Structure 1
Amino acid sequence: MADEHESSHAKDKITETFHDEDSSSSSDSDSKPPPKKTFPVPPNRANANNVSWKEKPVHDLLGGAKAADLFLWRNKKKSIIVLGSVTIIWALFEMIEYHLLSLLCHVLILVLGVHFLWSNTLNLFYKCPQFPQVALEEDTVLQIASVARLEINNFLEVLREIASGKDLKKFLTVIAGLWVVSIAGSCCTLLTLVYICFVLLHTVPVLYERHKEKADVLLDKGEAELKKQYEVLHEKVLSKVPKSFKEKKLA
């Protein structure tokens, strides 16, 4: 009887120890947070930022919206209408030397005359509907103002980053671009310069899309030549700039 009592007592101790270990392990597992699931990044999305702009479609480079369809002549009627309207406006102001104030006055005269005929004369013979009322909605104006504010702030931030001197190559590129634009501005008016840029947007992307392989070869040669010129400039001029001046500028 004593042996049976001792054996049962030992069994109870063994079961208690196993129960304590199970409870401690379960409490430890409850206290520890479950491991976070990690999802593998798709290779297309991971390498999206490393893709060169030459490997992207021209439609995506232009924003991929309706403006890109317009510049790439996806809808020929709309592209012709827009380009023709801009050409007429440029011809009025530059070739015929039409003035903006005169144009606004003539447009208002035309609108008022049509409204007068619509409201008075035509109603004597036909039952015409009321002249459509034109009004700007408050939400539309606020959206345009908010978008303009964000774009202006982003532009000012980019200018601040360029002027800080952290990227000297970008700074010199912007200075050279502004110098070229200033030379072009001295040769023609602002309207003509805007019109030339608009025509280039309607022609260069289409030509580049059709002759992409040949254009990429020429662009690679031009990029290599620019890198050589920049290395020469860096060796002769930029490398001689004192380091203390660069550190103060970056600070």
Structure 2
Amino acid sequence: MAMDDRLAELNPKPRTCVVFGGRGFLGRSLVLRLLKLGKWIVRVADSTQSLHLDPSERDSLLSQALSSGIASLHGVDVRDKSQIITAIKGSSVVFYFDGADLRTDDFYHCYMIVVQGAKNVISGCRECKVRRLIYNSSADVVFDGSHDINNGDESLPYPWKFDDMLSDFKAQAEALVLRSNDIDGLLTCALRPSNVFGHGDSHLVPFLVNLAKSGWGKFIIGSGENRSDFTYAENVTHAHICAEEALDNRMVSAAGKAFFITNLEPANFWEFVTLILDGLGYQRPLVKVPAKMARYILLFFKLMTEKYGLIKHNHSMSAHYIQLASHTRTFDCTAARNQIGYSPVVSLEEGVTLTIESFSHLAKYSSFTSYSDFNEQSKVEKLLGSGEVADILLWRDEKKSFTYFLALSLLFYWFFLCGRTFASSVSKLLLLVSFGLYGYGILPPKILGLTVKSLSLSCFEIPEMAVKDMIATIAYLWNRGVGYMRQLAQGDDWDIFFKFAASLYFLKLISSQALTVVIGVALVFAFTLFFIYEQYESEIDGFAKLLFNSTMLVFGSLRTNVPASVQLFLENHGIWRHGKGHATIKHQK
């Protein structure tokens, strides 16, 4: 008998566990982890419609386990306690992941799934004499949406008020699980992972991709300096195994408590987003937008959705993203390391790489590659010469661009909006500059310990090469203009004629308007249109191509209906010729 006991210890009989939400993002990862350990008979419990296996799972470890009886599928609605009891009867451990894909616009549905579901699971565990219950909570349960969390630990209280309904319900469910500890022999604990991502993610990564596709992914919400903790999915499932082992050993320090779970590598939130979007071929966030402005825009979208149904978007997910993206949220996992023996098994860098590979089907380019050239110049940058002017008009340096815009706006106001003549404005400006230079020149070398640098005469000199280049440019433009006039006078090139006529017409339109309005509009457009075009280059190019093709179709249909006399006149002058089945305009060189 002693030998049999020793063999039993070396080859323990598999224990039975139930994974509620076992077909969700984290549930699937935990099920595979349990099956790989080979010590468990796993019951996968989830809603009936999610129990079917995906085509990619036909020959998977789960499929083999189902065939051998090591795993089984159970359709369970957590709102029905009788279904829960049927699924967990005879098991010793329950891992509980509540609904992942909830309709967040339905208050009652969310409450019944998260809060009432937790009550039913707890009650079922007590009735069936389950020994251990591990609940997958969230770090969101201590976040109020408005205050930063720096290295927060488990002593943080629940907020008085939640901005996110789902976080509120998760906090209620977590409290129910923890309060039920050590009642009827049931030991419980809760895990609080932060910003979970990984293979099969149905929230964070798909949301970032959709954001990038819509064009909103180019914006950084807030200062861009906030840090966050992220957790790779496999580390979360590893933490569940650690928690179960700690409760199995009846460690008093673990029972009835909640633990933060992260990768132990706090990172800049926007650097993480950049890694994901860069890896999938999308443009990284570049433009900073105040968080308050982002909230106002979101409220506007919500109003349009509720009143007119014009814009379809997930308001709760977007609002939660703005909160995460504009606040620091880092957590201390010392308690998890000391009391349940948790430490990450996958680093953050490796987790990001694996996640990008698993989402290659969402990459921007069909031939997904990690060697994409993300530094390729845009069309508008090439048009502006890729120099300092391009950097200013494309807002590469926000402070510098704003300074130039403000200076030009002040000059515009000084010359055109003050009600003075141009000569008077110039004279007063020169007078102010003279007084300013004179005042600067008589300043002492040091003021309050600060050194005042003197202006050298070279600051007011124009280099000889610059003068020569300017004269050469003027001469080139003059000669080019004369050449165009000669070609126009010869009457051989219709392209130049149409360009010249269009230019004159455009000049007429400008001159018909007030010069002040034209310059003001040009100033605003210079600092906005180039930037907007760069941000939405592909969309604008696609629309322009569609418009051009439509215009060509219209012209093609018109050409077929041109009167014969007009066709004959144009043919005699070499302007019109017949191609294959249709008439075309001849472009003369």
TM-score class normalised by the smaller sequence: 0.5 to 0.7
Aligned residue among 102, 106, 128 for 2:424: 102
Corresponding residue for residue 470 of structure 2 = 144
Change (3 A) 1:65 1:166: farther
Change (3 A) 1:106 1:63: same
Q: How does 1:143-182 map to 2 (within 5 A)?
A: 143-158=469-484, 160-161=486-487, 164-169=490-495, 171-182=497-508
Q: Per-residue deviation at 1:81?
A: 1.7
Aligned residue among 566, 569, 572 for 1:240: 569
SS in 1 for 2:527: helix
Q: Which is strand-richer, 1 or 2?
A: 2
Q: Which is helix-richer, 1 or 2?
A: 1
Aligned residue among 59, 62, 66 for 2:388: 66
Corresponding residue for residue 205 of structure 1 = 530
| Alpha-carbon distance in 2 for matches of 1:65, 1:143 | 17
| CA RMSD across the alignment | 3.9
Corresponding residue for residue 132 of structure 1 = 456
Aligned residue among 540, 549, 552 for 1:224: 549
Q: Unaligned stretches of 5+ in structure 1? A: 1-54
| Alpha-carbon distance in 1 for matches of 2:523, 2:559 | 33
Q: Per-residue deviation at 1:239?
A: 6.0
Q: Per-residue deviation at 1:186?
A: 0.3
SS in 2 for 1:73: coil
Contact 2:414–2:425 (8 Å) recurs in 1:
no
Q: Per-residue deviation at 1:160?
A: 4.3
1:176-213 CA distance string (max 9 Å, x none): 34313312320221x43234233223222221222223
| Higher RCO (CA-CA < 8 Å; seq separation 6+) | 1
Contact 1:86–1:195 (8 Å) recurs in 2:
no
Aligned residues: 192
1:45-81 CA distance string (max 9 Å, x none): xxxxxxxxxx963311332222222221112222212
Change (3 A) 1:60 1:163: farther
Change (3 A) 1:144 1:209: same
SS in 2 for 1:64: coil
Corresponding residue for residue 89 of structure 1 = 411
SS in 1 for 2:395: coil
Change (3 A) 1:221 1:116: closer
Q: Per-residue deviation at 1:158?
A: 4.2
Contact 1:72–1:205 (8 Å) recurs in 2:
yes
Q: Unaligned stretches of 5+ in structure 2? A: 1-376, 576-587
Corresponding residue for residue 77 of structure 1 = 399
Change (3 A) 1:141 1:105: same
SS in 1 for 2:528: helix
| Alpha-carbon distance in 1 for matches of 2:385, 2:419 | 35
Q: Per-residue deviation at 1:173?
A: 4.5
Change (3 A) 1:63 1:116: closer
Change (3 A) 1:78 1:116: closer
TM-score using structure 2 length: 0.28
Q: Per-residue deviation at 1:230?
A: 5.1
Q: Per-residue deviation at 1:135?
A: 2.9
Identity of aligned residues (%): 18
| Alpha-carbon distance in 2 for matches of 1:135, 1:211 | 42
Q: Per-residue deviation at 1:145?
A: 0.9
SS in 1 for 2:413: helix
Corresponding residue for residue 62 of structure 2 = none
